Structure 1
Amino acid sequence: MANIRMFLVLYPLLLAALVLNCRGDERKLHVVYMGDRPQGDLSLASTHHSMLRSVLESGSSAEESLVYSYDRSFNGFAAKLTKQEAASISEMEGVVSIIPNRMLKLHTTRSWDFMGFSKDKLGAGQEGDVIIGFIDTGVWPEHPSFNDTGFGPPPAKWKGQCQTKNFTCNNKLIGARYYNSDNDYDDTDIHSPRDTEGHGTHTASTAAGVELPGTSFLGLAEGVARGGVPNARIAVYKVCWDSGCGLADILKAFDDAIGDGVDVISVSLGSFWPSDYFDDPIAIGSFHAMKNGILTSNSAGNSGPEPVTVTNFAPWTMTVAASTIDRKFAANLALGNGQILTGISINSFDLNGTSYPLMWGGDAVNYTMGSSSDYTRYCEADAMNLDMLVGKIVLCEGLQDGSAILLSNGIGIIMMDPTVGIPDYAFSYPLPATLISPDDFRKVMEYIRSTKYPEATILLGETWKDAMAPTVVSFSSRGPSPVSPDILKPDIAAPGVDILAGWSPLAPPSIYYKDSRSLYFNVISGTSMACPHASATAAYVKAAHPDWSPAAIKSAIMTTAYIMDPKRHKDLEFAYGSGHINPAAALDPGLVFDASATDYINFLCKQGYNTTTLRLVTGDNSTCANTTPGRGWDLNYPSFSLYVEDGQQIMGTFTRTVTNVGAANSTYTASIDVPPLISVAIEPSTLTFSAVGETQSFTVKVTGPPISQQPITSGAITWRDGTHAVRSPLVVYNYIPGAPYTLDSEDSNSMPEKKRVLNGLYKDHRSGIVRHS
């Protein structure tokens, strides 16, 4: 009997151990990153097969394991491996990092004119030679935004292809590929570059859609829709599906986009959590894009307003925060007692002023389920007596997608978010809906309790002028960088709130995923929407200056930005970077802060990467000699960031070099605008140029008293020649109020612990990847 009891106790434990052991032997997709592509006509795929054959167990073949070879623009592969096999490959010569595949998620009529970038600012067709690559959800190829009337053949440099399975390209939409390394498709997914999510169609049309008069969202926000560079060509790389965006697929899309010959890469997605540069597919891909003369524009993330939440922070990319435009969507609530309350919603449903019975969700209790008003007040479907909702407008104390009321034959929904109040962005819903403030919610409750037959109606949506715009929206992720505090992130702010642009007719137009309405235009918000505004601006500058480097283009965009109001942003530059994007001014910046791959390599040395790793990444004889890890002050960046350890004195010296891209003979004088806490000395304070392309260097010495628990304080350095104002923000800080995490140093064999300088602002660096909308 004792033996039987012992068996009953141990059996579940033995079974669990067996299951875990089996799982350890399960093959899962891993990315093996091996740095730059070696010179010469080599068959990298053969090398990858050989590496796999040397470690594969159980008789599996390299052909069965290998999913992708990254061999066009950099070196590496994706393969299905057990933990043991992955560990063996990680020890092989030439391997920079091995990364388990993970899923990333996807982070207009008015926005371009709002920025002063009207159609007459466009070049005379010169954007037609510029190709923007979108790593996203694909596009809807028949969408009118991608009509190619008047377009000639693709530029001769184009080396891409169109995967024509259920898809057709043209002279506007010149290339399309799709990737799904896990072969994991949902019922709604289409096995082609065709967009079923709407996201990719929206971002591509925002950046480069052709001009379309009379567009709207079901009559709201009517106007002329166009992309920032409507003459530019579009190439799409579909990596995102209903289940997310695979890391291995993102890297393959970068590999192909670089090899295909795009000029700008637009990436509106990112990780939930930060990773080291060479464990992050976007940082890896964009590094090799930079080496090939291609700027990557990417979204900052939607985890704001908490600090240290920016997810795309590599210095060789342009990180874009989301700001408002001067248009706001409102849907007012009219109560039976005559009160009109302001609400926020993109409401396309017209109730024609008809009033309907109004009830509080807390009164629709499902007693059979053992519920109470403590649950039904939030309008959770499982807790409610759905029969009571028929024909009524329902007041809810929380945010809902409206499906419970819709499926119960209710008329509409009124919501309140007690934590936020009235948000600075709007959603659309599958039925009449509006979101009111907590104060107005109390007014509605008082009315419901004061009358026997309360009633209300939700008015048709309208657009209002937002005089406060632009401001950085609450959801936009904030800096500082969790890995490199000497680099100010985000870089720039761009319109990302309530943006009207193209949409897939297969995608739901509201937040309810089963909304069956089919539309070609939609209004959505996110840093995903801000990113293509910056991508288009980069393409605009690239068209005018095809020989400029990615760093020069980014510098032009940053140093000519509109100055944003610091009184409206407590996190200052950690919200908006250098300011609000100004496309027209970026064409003529006067001076640029240029940087090459060598400059970024030196920066990485100071971040703690070793010579062996960097030689693999760069494919050359790069060395890290006589560098002190931890400071990146000498990277030729268009902004200045000084992190000071708590209790230490403010002290830092930055070296910068500017290139004259304005008048041949010009003299620039520096002006300094900083708060009294900081002292700044610039040497020399006057720069004289006698030729276009001439460079001059200067140093910026920042000093001040010891500081403790000092949040961000900021100013700016501006170089002026009478025509140009080349402005760079300068921030000093040593304390981030509300920073939720600390960053540890496990999981990397290429960087010492010193790599994470910032007294830890991230403990957990798990990394799902998200769409930024």
Structure 2
Amino acid sequence: MGFPANLPRSHFETEVIVGMLDTGIWPESKSFNDDGFGPPPQKWKGLCQSNHNFTCNNDGHGTHTSSTVAGREVANASLRGLADGTARGGVPSARIAVYKVCWDRCSDVDILAAFDDAIADGVDIISISIGDGVAHDYFTDPIAIGSFHATKNGILVSSSVGNLGPKRSTVVNVAPWLVSVAASTIDRKLVAGVNLGDGQVFQGLALNTDGSGGTIYPLIYVGNAPNKSANTNALNSRFCAKGSLDAELSRRKVIICDTVSFGYGPQLAGAVAAILRRDGVNDVALEFALPVSVPGVNYSESVLQYANKTSNPTAIVSKSEGVFDKAATYVASFSSRGPNRITPNILKPDLAAAGVDILAAWPPINAEKESVSYNIISGTSMACPNVTAVAAYIKSFNPTWSPAAIQSELITTTYIMNSTKNADAEFSYGAGNVNPVAALNPGLVYDADEGDYVKFLCGEGKPCSATYHRTVANVGTPNSTYQVNVIAPPAGLRITVEPQVLAFESLREKKSSVVKHEGETSITVSAALIWSDGKHNVRSPVVVYTSS
């Protein structure tokens, strides 16, 4: 994601403390080796609690997110040979304080208690890859409440937006004082090869740690193999549900299913591998109960035609491998989308970050993956800690900066994403994909404090205005002049900014402007407002849409 190890590093990075609110941690991981670390910073007021299995993390989620933020360099890390390389968190010299908020579930009480503890303990940044299935009112949402108090105490909170995409208005964690992170792809995708008996070869997405070992097996479409003893017909067996397949016909065969499932049905029926059809977006490699390949629609049709029109069809499904994804970077289909259901005139997500097929530390005692020290998983939960790490990196150079200033840096310096690759445009990726290098030198920042957020809350429920008063602080060079430019204002819509020039004489000097939207539109349209001094381009996305 453009966050190389050789970036300039501040000596203060080791003083930055990131609070991880998650499922706990597996502290024995090599990613959390503390050799060379001194005692905690003097500002740290917390205690290390080891009773009640507090840090034990058997499900792996918290270990994965924590190592993404601050994992030490570990050579030759992989998931059984997949994604082999050096594992490293974004800020490997930073400290992490882990607060276990999820046990059987992630309760509101535990989340709020963890926010209170993290604030009292003296953390600088909080990362929370947790969200409910729907956005809640700010006064009842525990993450909105907890993060408000964190922000009030100078602590930036980074959060995930949820995994309910591509449906619109599914984004969660939408409070304006929160950094809300969507999941984008990386330039490596994991594919499993399929070799058919007639010589056809293709690749489908899947996370196979093994394959059929090069052995050729008979191929069967399970619509032709219903479990009649269980009164199952072809309409059911073709979806490969548990118990729906004829075990005699499926045993030691590669089977074709008409949908994507975890593969328990084929495994129970004795199949050696499966080819799963996916009619919709196919952009994430999933792990299954047996070797699988998930091809695109066209390839699925070719496989089905071969299986049904050949007397003795055969196939091989291979172990996965990483290949270059020339289409990257784009937002994952599962990543929740805007618009913001709670406050429609605040764009959420804020930005996107790598959240697909991410390799990070894993507890080797996990029941589903014993002896696995690094795992590959996807989700906005994986994207959130990448942005958390960039926020911590910024904090290490600017320890006195406010949460809003750091949030502004993250949003206004992103890589611009391509709306042709993302049908929902800003509602999928916000301002764009995080840019760690540019975020360190934004030029201007939009700052805010507790009073601004209180005014915002007091105005909730009132009609939205088309006039916005914005204030920026100069953090670039002392004597600088910025001119505004509105990019691509669509026909029928007029966006004006007054004044159009901001002249600064010193650092931290503040200047204000007024942005007005005029006109009507029946469709969703995108524009951007950019303040530029020739070196810095401070970009803010503008989206106008009709709320249903």
TM class by smaller structure: over 0.9
CA gap of 1:122–1:197, structure 2 versus 1, over 3 A, is farther
Over the aligned positions, Cα root-mean-square deviation in angstroms equals: 1.5
Q: How does 1:306-455 map to 2 (within 5 A)?
A: 306-418=167-279, 420=280, 423-455=282-314
Looking at structure 1, the residues matched to 422 and 204 of structure 2 have their Cα atoms a distance apart, in angstroms, of 24
From 362, 366, 380, the equivalent of 1:507 is 366
Q: What's the TM-score once normalised by structure 1's chain length?
A: 0.69
From 463, 475, 485, the equivalent of 1:630 is 463
Looking at structure 2, the residues matched to 734 and 307 of structure 1 have their Cα atoms a distance apart, in angstroms, of 13
Deviation at 1:542, TM superposition (A): 0.7
CA gap of 1:516–1:464, structure 2 versus 1, over 3 A, is closer
Per-residue Cα deviation, 1:401-454 (whole angstroms, up to 9, x for no partner): 122333444211110123x15x11111223211112232222222222223322
Looking at structure 1, the residues matched to 311 and 526 of structure 2 have their Cα atoms a distance apart, in angstroms, of 57
Q: Percent of aligned positions with the same letter in both sequences?
A: 48
The answer to whether structure 1 residue 689 and structure 2 residue 504 are counterparts is: yes
Structure 1 equivalent of residue 471 of structure 2: 657
Looking at structure 2, the residues matched to 532 and 542 of structure 1 have their Cα atoms a distance apart, in angstroms, of 15
The answer to whether structure 1 residue 733 and structure 2 residue 545 are counterparts is: yes
Structure 1 equivalent of residue 319 of structure 2: 460
Q: Aligned partner of 2:506: which letter?
A: A
Q: How does 1:360-759 map to 2 (within 5 A)?
A: 360-418=221-279, 420=280, 423-507=282-366, 515-608=368-461, 629-631=462-464, 652-673=466-487, 674-704=489-519, 706-707=520-521, 710-735=522-547
Aligned to 1:598, what secondary structure does the other structure show? Answer: helix
Looking at structure 1, the residues matched to 252 and 213 of structure 2 have their Cα atoms a distance apart, in angstroms, of 15
Looking at structure 2, the residues matched to 486 and 124 of structure 1 have their Cα atoms a distance apart, in angstroms, of 37
Deviation at 1:154, TM superposition (A): 0.7
Aligned to 1:567, what secondary structure does the other structure show? Answer: coil
The gaps in structure 1 that reach 5 residues or longer are 1-114, 167-190, 509-514, 609-628, 634-651, 736-758, 760-773
CA gap of 1:502–1:356, structure 2 versus 1, over 3 A, is same
Deviation at 1:363, TM superposition (A): 2.6
Looking at structure 2, the residues matched to 516 and 221 of structure 1 have their Cα atoms a distance apart, in angstroms, of 17
Deviation at 1:122, TM superposition (A): 4.2
Deviation at 1:678, TM superposition (A): 1.9
Structure 2 equivalent of residue 85 of structure 1: none
Q: Note if contact 1:390-1:410 (Cα within 8 Å) is conserved in structure 2.
A: yes
Give the greater-gyration-radius structure (CA). 1
From 86, 98, 103, the equivalent of 1:236 is 98
Q: Aligned partner of 1:322: which letter?
A: A
Structure 2 equivalent of residue 200 of structure 1: 62
Q: Aligned partner of 2:315: which letter?
A: A
Looking at structure 2, the residues matched to 466 and 224 of structure 1 have their Cα atoms a distance apart, in angstroms, of 20
Deviation at 1:516, TM superposition (A): 4.9
Q: Note if contact 2:190-2:285 (Cα within 8 Å) is conserved in structure 1.
A: yes
The answer to whether structure 1 residue 281 and structure 2 residue 142 are counterparts is: yes
Q: What's the TM-score once normalised by structure 2's chain length?
A: 0.97
Structure 1 equivalent of residue 29 of structure 2: 143
Per-residue Cα deviation, 1:719-755 (whole angstroms, up to 9, x for no partner): 11121111111111114xxxxxxxxxxxxxxxxxxxx
Aligned to 1:531, what secondary structure does the other structure show? Answer: helix
Q: Note if contact 2:241-2:264 (Cα within 8 Å) is conserved in structure 1.
A: no
Deviation at 1:342, TM superposition (A): 2.0
Structure 1 equivalent of residue 108 of structure 2: 247
Q: How many residues align?
A: 547
Aligned to 1:231, what secondary structure does the other structure show? Answer: coil
Q: Note if contact 2:151-2:403 (Cα within 8 Å) is conserved in structure 1.
A: yes
Looking at structure 2, the residues matched to 273 and 724 of structure 1 have their Cα atoms a distance apart, in angstroms, of 37
Aligned to 2:51, what secondary structure does the other structure show? Answer: coil
- Mean Cα displacement is larger for which, 353-362 or 725-734? 353-362
From 151, 154, 161, the equivalent of 2:40 is 154
Per-residue Cα deviation, 1:136-186 (whole angstroms, up to 9, x for no partner): 1111110111000111111111111221237xxxxxxxxxxxxxxxxxxxx
Q: Aligned partner of 2:300: which letter?
A: F
Looking at structure 2, the residues matched to 257 and 466 of structure 1 have their Cα atoms a distance apart, in angstroms, of 39
Structure 1 equivalent of residue 79 of structure 2: 217
Aligned to 2:243, what secondary structure does the other structure show? Answer: helix
The gaps in structure 2 that reach 5 residues or longer are none
Q: How does 1:104-143 map to 2 (within 5 A)?
A: 115-143=1-29
Deviation at 1:360, TM superposition (A): 1.6
Looking at structure 2, the residues matched to 711 and 286 of structure 1 have their Cα atoms a distance apart, in angstroms, of 34
Aligned to 2:322, what secondary structure does the other structure show? Answer: strand
Q: Aligned partner of 2:121: which letter?
A: D
Per-residue Cα deviation, 1:628-654 (whole angstroms, up to 9, x for no partner): x233x6xxxxxxxxxxxxxxxxxx211
Q: Aligned partner of 1:337: which letter?
A: D
Looking at structure 2, the residues matched to 699 and 400 of structure 1 have their Cα atoms a distance apart, in angstroms, of 52
Per-residue Cα deviation, 1:639-672 (whole angstroms, up to 9, x for no partner): xxxxxxxxxxxxx211100001111111111111
Looking at structure 2, the residues matched to 605 and 500 of structure 1 have their Cα atoms a distance apart, in angstroms, of 43
- Mean Cα displacement is larger for which, 564-573 or 249-258? 564-573
Q: Note if contact 1:572-1:712 (Cα within 8 Å) is conserved in structure 2.
A: no
Deviation at 1:124, TM superposition (A): 4.1
Q: Note if contact 1:333-1:434 (Cα within 8 Å) is conserved in structure 2.
A: yes
Deviation at 1:282, TM superposition (A): 0.2
Aligned to 2:496, what secondary structure does the other structure show? Answer: strand
Q: Aligned partner of 2:463: which letter?
A: G
